[in-house]
Structure 1
């Protein structure tokens, strides 16, 4: 899937610049990459903050 690495890196960096520890930042990157992996073709998907947080909680617990 195109963009999974870019999405991961964006999530990782978002976590780091918001002062999360490296493990949490990596988990944020993993959740961000889920959206790229799930969608075939060009990356025109989007998600809300609430949707992202729910997926994070479902996979890793509270942030």
Structure 2
């Protein structure tokens, strides 16, 4: 599992991104990243797992 922070390109707020893997060969798909505050598109990750986004408590 990989975890990092991003800044939304639309609202400018920081949020946490968590990328999980299913540990299966091949089958990578484009998982889109959306801001949990304003739901703006913020790119994608190629993964065989899932991408989750979380608000950062301030």
Same fold per superposition (TM over 0.5)? no
TM-score (norm 2): 0.30
Structure with higher Rg: it is 2
Structure ranking higher in helix proportion: 1
Task: Return the structure number with greater strand share.
Answer: 2
